[in-house]
Structure 1
Amino acid sequence: MSEKSAAIFSNPLDGVRVEAFGTNIIRMLGEASGAAMSIMEVILHPGDGTPLHLHEREDETFRVLSGTVGFWCGDKHQRLVSDGIAFLPRGIPHRIENVGDDEARLMVILTPGGFEQFFVEIASDSGEAPETIAERFGLRFL
């Protein structure tokens, strides 16, 4: 990890918007925190979510900002609404889905940082298979 040398701030309209597995707004890049963490805001329409997958490198912490989101992690399932929090550890298969009737918004904290670049690469439409990109980031679709 790199040295952290300054405070990091993100105003409400800050961030890089990336369309991949929903709308992802990268609010803090991993490189800004010395790879300690990155933060994204995710917007999911009803029925949208991620496929079953696991991360080899990152833990994910989710805070539901609005809507109703289902979390499946290993043999556990939980529906959370606004202000609910979920921690999904690396190495355990998981997925999320907007199970409500309205748009859902989540804050996602990735530790360590850097995985947010996966979404940037997926959205770049380079023609590279998503599974190949995922492999570089220690992500496995199941």
Structure 2
Amino acid sequence: MNRNSFLKRGILSAAALTSLPALASSGRKEPNKPSSLDPKVVRNDEGKKVNVIGDQQTFKLTSKDTDGQFTLIEETNPPGMMIPPHVHTNEDEVFKVLEGELEITVGEKTTILQAGDLAFAPRNIPHSWKVVGDKDCKTILSIFPAGLEVMFEELGGLPPGPPDFANVSEICSKYGITFLA
């Protein structure tokens, strides 16, 4: 390699290295700014418990806790509990199984998740789930961005007994969720 080529490469490499910090921080919110959020510890038996048409949920972190960034819900349900195919237009969801087995369909793919497995259900992609096997399934549901817990609370306030599906669909549609036939 001649001297000019060596110098050009050296200068270009140095310029690239000096721009890395700017590239690394692009798209992030002021990385050196202190958080305005309060730290929070939620113990195993803590959180707001809501029965959402049979789906037993415990809100661990809500929009208020995360400044709208995400919601974290623990679900513990018996075999046979299921949510039919539906689509979210505003949220992405992550399901992580802690105990038991969860059959989940996202788009065209159906699989059974076991302890430690997770599935990502992006917005605008149909998905559904059902607890399978012979024991309860404990799942952590993460929702991005936060706020869907408001809908879950509204559904949890419906009268006991078999749900009025038209009413459930109407409530869900206010939050950008549509059930599929």
The two structures have a TM-score, normalised by structure 1, of 0.92
Bigger RCO of structures 1 and 2 (CA < 8 A, at least 6 apart): 1
The structure that has the greater radius of gyration is 2
Aligned residues of 1:8 and 1:33 also touching (Cα < 8 A) = no
Which structure 1 residue ranges, 5 or more long, are not aligned? Answer: none
Quote the residue 2:41 is aligned against: 9
Aligned residues of 1:66 and 1:81 also touching (Cα < 8 A) = yes
Quote the residue 1:19 is aligned against: 51
AA at the equivalent of 1:10:
V
SS of equivalent to 1:110:
strand
Stretches of 4+ moved more than 6 A in 1? Answer: none
Quote the residue 1:130 is aligned against: 168
Aligned residues of 1:15 and 1:27 also touching (Cα < 8 A) = yes
Distance 2:36 2:89 in 1: 24
CA deviation map 1:18-52 (0-9, x unaligned)? 11141011111112211100100111211111011
Using the TM superposition, name which of 91-100 and 9-18 deviates more: 9-18
1:93 aligns with 2:131: no
Over 3 Å counting, the alpha-carbon distance change for 1:5 and 1:73 in structure 2 is same
Q: CA RMSD of the aligned region, Å?
A: 1.7
Which structure 2 residue ranges, 5 or more long, are not aligned? Answer: 1-34
Shift of 1:56: 0.5
Between the aligned residues of both structures, percent identity stands at 26
Distance 2:133 2:144 in 1: 27
Which structure shows the bigger proportion of residues in helix conformation?
A: 2
